[in-house]
Amino acid sequence: MESTSENIRFAGRVIAQGGLVAFPTETVFGLGADALNEEAVRNVYKAKGRPSDNPMIVHVAEARQLQQLTDQDMTLLEPLAKAFWPGPLTIVVQKKILVPDVTTGGLGTVAVRNPDNDIARELIMAAGAPIAAPSANLSGRPSPTKTQHVIADLKEKIDVILQGEDCRVGIESTVLDMSEGHPVILRPGIITKEQLENVLLRPVEIDPALIHDPKDRGDFRPKAPGMKYKHYAPKADMVLFQGEDDAVIRQIHRVKEAEEAKGRKVGIIFFSEGEYAKAAHDWFAQLRSLDQDGVDVILAKALSQKDQVGFAVMNRMLKSAGYHVEKV
């Protein structure tokens, strides 16, 4: 439904009564439930078809609500919230017992985010409770960045879909673990390691599991449970081509012709080096659109992982392609 003030208040009541509401944020759409209501949170897992050991992000309307969810010392948390909230940063902290285990997938920590979207914040206020919300897609499908994507995945399964504009960022928030004293990025996003270090005035680690291909990762197991699942999978087979723009274009065209000669329908996703924010913004929408066109193969250009936003988008690209990369 349209996100009028009246409809947002209605949706807030639906959440307060244990229902499920999808809503826009600046990153991707979320599927929300009262974070403190176990039954409601269980229903989110059910609607998405999501494994229940995968914890949810708890969304708050204002930064100071963080203190309702954790007893952790605020010395480092306050500057983070001041610099990046509202915005696409999720902070993992030790949880208070009031946060149910189902919400955190049984972990002793809780992930908290203050989204930069008026509809989202009004909804949280109207619900009168923090809102647990994973991305509003069926588990394993690309994250939703347009209202239409949410309708396609969840229309029959949830109570309300609040409409919104296309998501400004397009990839999910940076997840930063602050629960153990030293900061660790568990999921890369548009807020980068450098930006975090500039505020925290100390080194920020990147979870080593994010840097390694799962096939040769060995003992590096991702600390964010959600990062271990096959994710963002289009229906088509997908290959990433790594190299200079020109060489990649030539190779993509060669492979395209060969695939088409076999009668396969080919889709291409190409972002020039440097277009990282655009790549983040468009990536999931392009995957969904190619799926809808019924392509059999997706050929895409890999991005440089030296750039931190490029690294964040590549994290999603690699998963979509099942780590299938060809150097050219």
320 binds ligand TXA (CB under 6 A): no
27 binds Mg ion (CB under 5 A): no
Nearest residue to ligand TXA by CB is 226
Binding string, residues 78-107; x marks residues near ligand TXA by CB under 6 A? ----------x-x-x-----------x--x
| Paired strand residues for 252 | none
- Catalogue the E-assigned strands of 137-258: 160-161, 174-177, 184-187, 205-206, 237-242
Choose among 26, 31, 29, 30: nearest CA to 42: 31
> Cβ 82 to Mg ion, closest distance in Å?
27
Task: Determine which residue in the list 43, 135, 174, 315 makes contact with Mg ion, applying CB under 5 A.
Answer: 135
Please tell me the distance from the alpha carbon of residue 311 to that of residue 190, in angstroms, as a whole number.
10
113 binds ligand TXA (CB under 6 A): yes
Using alpha carbons only, how large is the chain's radius of gyration in Å?
Answer: 20
Q: How many residues of this chain interact with ligand TXA, rule: CB under 6 A?
A: 31
CA distance readout (Å), 107 to 53, 95, 99: 9, 9, 10
Q: Is the distance from CB of 14 to CB of 159 less than 8 angstroms?
A: yes
* Subset of 184-243 contacting ligand TXA (CB under 6 A): 186-187, 223-227
Q: Is the distance from CB of 93 to CB of 122 less than 8 angstroms?
A: no
Segment lying near ligand TXA (by CB under 6 A), choices 6-14, 39-47, 71-79, 110-118:
110-118
Q: Which does residue 173 bind out of ligand TXA, Mg ion, none, counting CB within 5 to 8 angstroms by kind?
A: ligand TXA
251 binds ligand TXA (CB under 6 A): no
Q: Where are the alpha helices (DSSP H) in the chain?
A: 5-16, 38-48, 66-69, 77-84, 118-127, 147-154, 193-200, 245-261, 276-292, 308-320
Segment lying near Mg ion (by CB under 5 A), choices 127-135, 201-209, 249-257, 294-302:
127-135
Segment lying near Mg ion (by CB under 5 A), choices 132-140, 182-190, 281-289, 301-309:
132-140
Cis geometry, peptide bond prior to residue 86 (ω within 30 degrees of 0): yes
* Subset of 127-146 contacting ligand TXA (CB under 6 A): 133-135
Q: Which residues bind ligand TXA (CB under 6 A)?
A: 25, 27-28, 30, 54-57, 88, 90, 92, 104, 107, 109-111, 113, 115, 133-135, 172-173, 175, 186-187, 223-227
